[in-house]
Copies of this chain bind each other. A is one copy, B any other.
């Protein structure tokens, strides 16, 4: 078989390991091709045969060596035709697509239209892909956010301040929740729970009274934030973290600082968990290819690696809920 591998969407630590491992397994019997720049690479025929030794030098670093893009190959019919034509001309039998909702959606659509056989692997530092407990990159991102928060804490303690850490998570609060639990933060704001900033201020004040510093973790996507443009139409470059810090300082009278780790948390060397997850997903993806199980995404469910139809996954986000939301309520719920 001729098998292509691509990565799409935002980069995430662990992508290179997934690609490397898949190639290492598949090259025993098949020809494997790297498709550069995600789906765009299939539209532009940026495709190159690779061996695991070719990929070795970058296998364990962050980012994605085969590059990425956010290009949707089904944006219009012309693109879709180009895609089908190229897949045919390249004689690709299977494409392994590693990405988030958009990238996987394109894989599902290509499968549905019979353009190619696809296997998906879920990746996003936000961890909001439906149908799987963990996506590649999430654990590393949380580790980095936690390190940032811990460094920030030494400053807060020394100066006896309040601190706000803004972390990524546009739709879902997974990074914020995990960072908050891992640091036992005094408050955590996630998109899944509406909470008034006045309530946050109260909790912060109480925590400050007990120990003369306080830490708040906020997800960039919380709904109580007015958004990236202020009332005058000016772009709010600093984001919700800075706004919340300004609010808390005014409301509590306590000196407050914000920090926004931003892009840093997505580019770190992959954590052990993300490395092993990438290997497990890549192995499962290869087994799916061998067994002719297509149109599926590898998933971490019930503590094991399994498969789920891509069509069940796309178009919806996995939000914080169930036991995780209960955990949120235990520490930062309204009712205490």
Measured CB to CB, the residues of A under 8 A from B are 10-11, 13, 15, 17, 20-21, 24-25, 53, 56-65, 67-68, 133, 139, 142-146, 148, 150-155, 157-160, 163, 178-179, 181-184, 210-211, 230, 232, 234, 236-239, 242-243, 257, 259-269, 271-273, 275-276, 279-280, 283, 300-305, 323, 327, 330
Contact = CB atoms under 8 A, between A and B. Distances in A.
Given A257-B263, A272-B146, A273-B139, A327 B280 contact: yes
A259 B268 CA distance: 14
B303 A62 contact: no
A266 B152 CA distance: 8
Contact of A263 (B63, B259, B304): B259
B60 A57 contact: no
Contact of A181 (B143, B242, B279): B279
B184 A263 contact: no
A151 B268 contact: yes
B264 A262 contact: no
A39 to B, nearest CB: 15
Contacts of A266: 151, 155
A272 B181 CA distance: 9
Given A11-B159, A62-B155, 13 more contacts: A11-B155, A21-B184, A53-B211, A60-B150, A67-B160, A142-B272, A142-B276, A150-B269, A151-B263, A151-B267, A179-B272, A182-B272, A232-B232
Nearest to A24: B184
A113 to B, nearest CB: 28
> Which of the listed residues A11, A158, A269, A283 has the most CB atoms from chain B within 10 Å of its own CB?
A158
A259 B168 CA distance: 13
A61 B237 contact: no
Nearest to A323: B304
A124 to B, nearest CB: 14
A129 B305 CA distance: 21
A65 to B, nearest CB: 8
A64 B305 CA distance: 34
B63 A155 contact: yes
A109 to B, nearest CB: 23
Nearest to A230: B234
Nearest to A210: B53
Contacts of A265: 151
B276 A182 contact: yes
Contacts of A184: 17, 20-21, 24, 59-60, 279
Contact of A237 (B10, B237, B273, B279): B237
